[in-house]
Homo-oligomer: A and B are copies of this chain.
Amino acid sequence: MTDVDPTAGPIAGPTAAVLVIGDEILSGRTQDTNTNTIARFLAALGIDLMEARVVTDDHDRIIEALDALRSRWDYVFTTGGIGPTHDDITADAVAAAFGVALPEHPEALAILARRYGDDFNAARRRMARIPQGGALIANPVTDAPGFHVGNVFVMAGVPRIMQAMLEDVAPRLRTGSVVHARTLKVSGVGEGAVADVLRAAANLRRDLSFGSYPFGHGSVGEIGTQLVIRGRDAGLVEAAAQDLIAELRNMGIDVAAT
């Protein structure tokens, strides 16, 4: 289901994408944190998050992004747009993307009826509509469930609810071997001072990924660079880290394993 060549670089696990749905993210009103939460969740399961998108609460845009992502990656995780109001149109869009109906799901209906009692009105009843063939995702916070259909997992936008839903999603995912990371903290010099060494290491060990993230540039504080080595074989990651440390120290550069 993925077109990634598993022999090219350190990517080898199942792949995934995040689709954040919501005008409030793109208007700048709300800082998205769900993508980061999902990224960490997937990393712990050995699933590679390959892409993330944010779209507005627009039926056609949601479908278009869903179709692009679900055809390319093993899993798609959406957040947002499953509440009771008129701008909550994610379930409609997912049903349309899969070409299925959007009937009331008996179990979802029962859950919502129990939660709301006498206040179970038409707007809240909309949240019981689940694309045909979908399975519910439990919401221990406010009860209104998410759902999964095909390779698409549809979750709430509220971070605390989204995070709780991930617990119910985890057992349904095929996991990969976990990616190991080592971070080296280089002090006193910028990225440009270590770029050649890093490039040589990356060329030598193509089964690992090497990242470089400067800190403190231009300000009065400490200047330096964090080097991150990632890969699925812990021994290779460690060996590369030791080689880099030795090489940088030979150059008189201050480096510490963190």
Contacts and interface: CB of A to CB of B under 8 A. Distances in A.
A132 interface: no
B217 A141 contact: yes
A100 interface: no
Interface residues of A, number: 70
B195 A85 contact: yes
B53 A28 contact: no
A215 B181 CA distance: 36
Dominant secondary structure of chain A at its interface with chain B: mixed
Copy total for this chain? 2
Nearest to A23: B211
Interface of A: 23-33, 35-36, 39-43, 49-57, 61, 83-87, 116, 119, 121-124, 126-127, 141-142, 158, 160-161, 179, 181, 190-196, 198-199, 202-203, 209-214, 217-219, 228, 230
Task: Give me the 4 closest cross-chain CB pairs, A-B, nearest first.
Answer: A123-B195, A28-B39, A28-B40, A124-B192
15 contacts: A27-B181, A28-B39, A28-B43, A32-B35, A51-B54, A83-B214, A84-B195, A86-B199, A87-B202, A119-B192, A121-B196, A123-B192, A142-B217, A158-B217, A160-B218
